[in-house]
Amino acid sequence: MNKTSDKKSAAREQLLNTASQLFFSNGFHSIGVDRIASESGVTKMTMYKHFPSKDHLIVEILERSSEMYWEWFESAIQGITEPEQQLEALFKSIFGQHSLSPQSSFCLYQAVAVEYPSPDHMVNQAASRHKKSVVSRLEVICEQARLLSPVSLARQLFVLMEGFCMTARLIGTDSPPADIVQAATVLIQSHHK
């Protein structure tokens, strides 16, 4: 890689990192491109060379967040061969660490739902793709576990995940509430054949 490519890559990374922090802390609509460029230490022209619009920048941040989410997801179930145990491990991990941070992908995607409600908007579509893929992956695990109504169960588990994140964000929590983990376990057990 040459020096020009390195500079472009460094500027792009700086823009992504700075914008992510600004959006996590302040929401999407309250942050303008001037502030993103300024706090990234680049010109607006440089920003627009990397991202045609603020929306394109947000979509890239969502895609990166999705990649990090899937890395976490796979690490949470790594080495566990029984699908039902994968679900339990996943929930313990989610409620133990992942969703408690206001910068978690759960909370980021919930902010998108509020600030970009139109299903036709590219930012909403990027968030929707990710959330649908989470539900689909949960469905696969529920099917592999041979649980009753795997599609319904996957959606119920997904709603539990989302609800916990919102609750943790609004009222806070110092540790994962045992009743939330228990709720996931009860849902799973209620779908045994």
Shortest CA distance to 73 belongs to which of 101, 102, 109, 97?
97
Which amino acid is it at 95? F
* pLDDT band at residue 6 using 50, 70 and 90 as cut-offs: low
User: Tens of pLDDT along 135-190?
Assistant: 999 999 999 999 999 999 999 999 998 887 777 777 766 555 677 778 899 999 99
Asked: is 62-189 a CATH 1.10.357.10 domain? The reply is yes
The conformation of residue 1, written as its DSSP 8-state character, comes to: -
* pLDDT band at residue 48 using 50, 70 and 90 as cut-offs: very high
d(CA 115, CA 162): 17
Q: Where are the alpha helices (DSSP H) in the chain?
A: 3-26, 33-40, 44-50, 54-77, 83-96, 105-115, 122-144, 150-171, 178-189
CA distances from 131 to 46, 86, 96, 137, 164 (A): 31, 19, 20, 10, 15
Count CB-CB contacts under 10 A for residue 142: 26
**More reliable by pLDDT, 114 or 108:** 114
Q: Are 65 and 108 in contact (CB under 8 A)?
A: yes
Q: Are 138 and 158 in contact (CB under 8 A)?
A: yes
pTM tops 0.85: yes
Count CB-CB contacts under 10 A for residue 144: 14
Task: Tell me what pLDDT residue 97 has.
Answer: 53
Q: Which helix (H) or strand (E) holds 29?
A: none
User: Tens of pLDDT along 123-136?
Assistant: 999 999 999 999 99
User: Tens of pLDDT along 54-82?
Assistant: 999 999 999 999 998 899 899 999 999 99
Q: Are 87 and 185 in contact (CB under 8 A)?
A: no
> What superfamily does domain 1-51 belong to in CATH?
Homeodomain-like (1.10.10.60)
Start-end of CATH 1.10.10.60 domains in the chain: 1-51
Start-end of CATH 1.10.357.10 domains in the chain: 62-189
Task: Tell me what pLDDT residue 175 has.
Answer: 56
Tokens of 90: 């996943």
